[in-house]
Structure 1
Amino acid sequence: MGYEAARLLSIMMNGKSIENDHLITIPIKDIIARESTNTFAIEDLVVTQAVQYIRAVAPVYPIHVSEVAARSSLSLSGFNKHFSQHMGHTPKEEIKRVRLAKIQASLKNSNDKISKIAKDMKFGSPEELSRFFKRETGMVPKEYRSRYQNVNSL
């Protein structure tokens, strides 16, 4: 890819033109958010702290909305409403989304057995993880892994 870009740049620097429709596409693997880019454009401190807590804890522990709400100064119902107004979805949906993303990353990037992933994430059983995954994605973990593992290897 780099050689092709250098070749095209050399052509242009020598005063020659290239066709405008010359498009180079690069397949991407996963987008991995670094801590420095994993910031929130939310000015509300309660929601920002809640999202940070969910993203830190939910991948390894099945937290409940009541635990997150207890860290704020709001009642459970007030917290749910406040969070939803700022995020466009409920805190429960955020917890599920974060846990699902962790499972998907584990399936794509490792050969760990479902039982290990379930244990690491504190699911009650591998079957519980599989039911959660199927409910959220429409496919079983094994199918997801076979479809997406090493798909974008260059």
Structure 2
Amino acid sequence: MRAQGLLVRLGAVFLALRVMAPGEVFAAPTTVTKNQDFNFGKVAGGAGRAGTVTITSAGSRTYSGSVLPLGTVFSPARFTITGTVGKTYTITLPTEFIINAGADQMRVTSVTSSIALTGVIPAGGVVTFSVGGTLNVGAIQRNALYSSNMNITVK
């Protein structure tokens, strides 16, 4: 039996910046830049193969169930926050989101950050972080390129 490949790439990650009133404790970052898209890579799933693919925020990839890797290209999403030294920031990640290939869907859960979700802009004014998550592959998943938007807020 020939393995079916699911190419799962999360091509667009949206960031929202909230500008706050002058008297508030937080200061919005000057800029937030997406440096790299989230990419679960190509996997063998569907056709009776179900399980998960996890990309850690540190950049490693693991599998569970009967899902198998088909290649070595994958990555967490990577970002840079540039802001005023000493000001506080807060990152808000989704708890989960859906990726699509037409009407077919898969859920991404356990979304994590490589850094604490609140912090202080350090000397140099730059904070970098990565985002990982777990892709849930169904036993009847269609072979296709899945994509979606993941909304992250930095304030």
Higher strand share: 2
TM-score by length of 1: 0.25
If you compute each CA radius of gyration, which structure gives the higher value, 1 or 2? 1
Higher helix share: 1
Higher RCO structure (Cα 8 Å, ≥6 apart):
2
TM-score by length of 2: 0.25
